[in-house]
């Protein structure tokens, strides 16, 4: 039996690469595993040799100690891999298939799955609707920042690539299909971006940049990206976006300089609950800042897509309300302007095949846009530290050096 190693959370600010059990077709007990999920048999599952697995900003929330994640949790929900073992209930996925793994774990059988709401599957997490690999309060399914991982309901969940050689050639683009590309697209799509739209995206991290690429793909006339980090803003400008430095003041004033009016047709929150203030308050955390700002700059009747993460438990929240996810929102502004919101996990399967086709046919270069940077599994702790410092990179862990770019 092969060995296995993976990246584990070891307390605020600390991750380690540790030895793990080789995955079987059963959900074993471990950090974060819900008691009702322990021993859950998965004859419908497969074991993947992980080819690439990415560090996500959502992982950083846990590593910073801003969630209730338990120590020892195996991290990683952005996974691309090769099937090395199939369960007896798997009919269509074959050993040797190279596949993208949606970060949402879903059964394909419940009411929500049948309606395409795979981010809120009713059967995979005893705590609440919705699940994900290697994430707090998501049922305890082991994360994919490892050499091997088990994927349940494989015929339903996996997106196999049509040609292995082509997939390996475009692996740095295709690895973004597990989360950030569909998530960014979901943010832009649910904000109503279409041909000729003007769009403001708050946040120039990987999800914000993916949302900007998606807005361009959807036909936006002008895409404006706001952030505090000049290196990230420069990356947005590199593929044709306008930018706003929110440390210099209210975004609406800078938007007005770009468009001639202080509002946009559609807006996306790619920041989430660790938002900071604008202008002179930019150094201080102010978790409602982005949502309140987006309600101001979105035109009446417009929509806001909210792929940025908000949580119900934040030990590091700035006050008691923030610690339970209660923010001081100017909902009256949104109500008066008839603004629509879409929140929650992106239902990755709603978009991933279409976005795969856009990648395979060279309609989009998402890896370049988000600054894909390959590292080895052993370099993961360094990657987490550098990503947390604000570098304009998307770290891609390559446990088996299939890209030839890992140290």
Where are the chain's structural domains? 4-179+347-397, 184-342
Burial degree of 285 (CB within 10 A; 0-12, 13-18, 19+): middle
Given a cut of 60, whether residue 1 has pLDDT beyond it is no
Q: State the Cα–Cα distance between residues 150 and 141, nearest whole angstrom.
A: 9
**Of the candidates 331, 407, 401, 365, the residue with the CA atom closest to the CA atom of residue 147:** 401
Report the predicted TM-score, pTM, of the whole model to 2 decimal places.
0.96
Write the DSSP assignment of 281-306 as a string of letters: GTTSB-TTHHHHHHHHHEEEEEEEE-
Multiple choice CATH, 4-179+347-397, 3.90.79.10, 3.90.180.10, 3.40.50.80, 3.40.366.10:
3.90.180.10
Residue 244 has pLDDT above 80, yes or no: yes
* Residue with the two structure tokens 């584990």: 8
pLDDT-derived band at 2, boundaries 50, 70, 90: low
Average pLDDT rounded to a whole number, residues 366-374: 98
Residue with structure tokens 């599952």?
Answer: 45
Q: Considering the chain, what is the average pLDDT of its residues?
A: 96
Mean pLDDT of 40-62: 96
The pLDDT of 372-384, averaged and rounded, is 97
Q: Which fold, 184-342?
A: Rossmann fold (3.40.50)
Residue 376: per-residue pLDDT:
98
Q: What percent of the chain has pLDDT over 90?
A: 90
- Residue 283 confidence class, pLDDT cut points 50, 70, 90: confident
With a cut of 60, say whether residue 301 has pLDDT above it.
yes
């Amino acid at each position: 039996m092969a060995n296995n190693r993976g990246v584990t959370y070891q307390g605020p600010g600390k991750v380690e690469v540790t030895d793990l059990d080789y995955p079987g077709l059963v959900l074993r007990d471990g950090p974060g595993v819900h008691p009702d999920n322990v021993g859950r048999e998965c004859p419908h599952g497969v074991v993947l040799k992980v080819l690439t697995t990415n560090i996500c900003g959502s992982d950083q929330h846990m590593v910073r100690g801003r969630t209730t994640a338990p120590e020892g949790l195996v991290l990683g929900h952005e996974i691309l891999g090769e099937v090395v073992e199939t369960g007896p209930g798997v009919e269509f996925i074959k050993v040797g298939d190279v596949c993208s793994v949606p970060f949402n774990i879903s059964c394909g059988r419940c009411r929500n799955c049948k309606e395409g709401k795979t981010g809120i599957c009713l059967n995979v997490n005893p705590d609440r609707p919705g699940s994900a690999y290697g994430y707090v309060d998501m049922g305890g399914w082991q994360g994919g920042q490892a050499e091997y991982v088990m994927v349940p309901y494989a015929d339903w969940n996996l997106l196999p690539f049509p040609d292995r050689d082509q997939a390996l050639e475009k692996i740095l683009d295709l690895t973004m299909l597990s989360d950030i590309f569909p998530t960014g697209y979901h943010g832009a799509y649910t904000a109503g971006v279409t041909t000729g739209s003007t769009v403001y995206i708050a946040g120039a991290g990987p999800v914000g940049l993916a949302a900007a690429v998606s807005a361009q793909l959807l036909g936006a006339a002008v895409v404006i990206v706001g952030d505090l980090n000049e290196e990230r803003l420069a990356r947005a400008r590199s593929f044709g976006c306008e930018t706003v430095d929110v440390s210099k003041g209210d975004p609406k004033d800078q938007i007005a300089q770009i468009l001639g009016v202080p509002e946009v047709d559609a807006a996306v929150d790619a920041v989430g609950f660790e938002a900071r203030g604008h202008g002179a308050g930019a150094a201080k955390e102010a978790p409602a800042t982005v949502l309140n700002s987006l309600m101001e700059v979105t035109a009446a009747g417009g929509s806001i897509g909210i792929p940025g993460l908000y949580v119900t438990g934040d030990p590091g929240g700035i006050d008691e309300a923030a610690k339970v996810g209660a923010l001081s929102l100017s909902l009256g502004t949104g109500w008066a302007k008839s603004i629509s919101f879409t929140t929650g996990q992106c239902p990755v399967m709603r978009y991933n095949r279409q976005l795969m086709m856009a990648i395979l046919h060279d309609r989009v270069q998402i890896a370049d846009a988000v600054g894909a940077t390959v590292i080895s599994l052993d370099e993961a702790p360094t990657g987490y530290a550098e990503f947390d410092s604000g570098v304009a990179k998307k770290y891609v862990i390559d446990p088996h050096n299939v890209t030839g770019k890992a140290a």
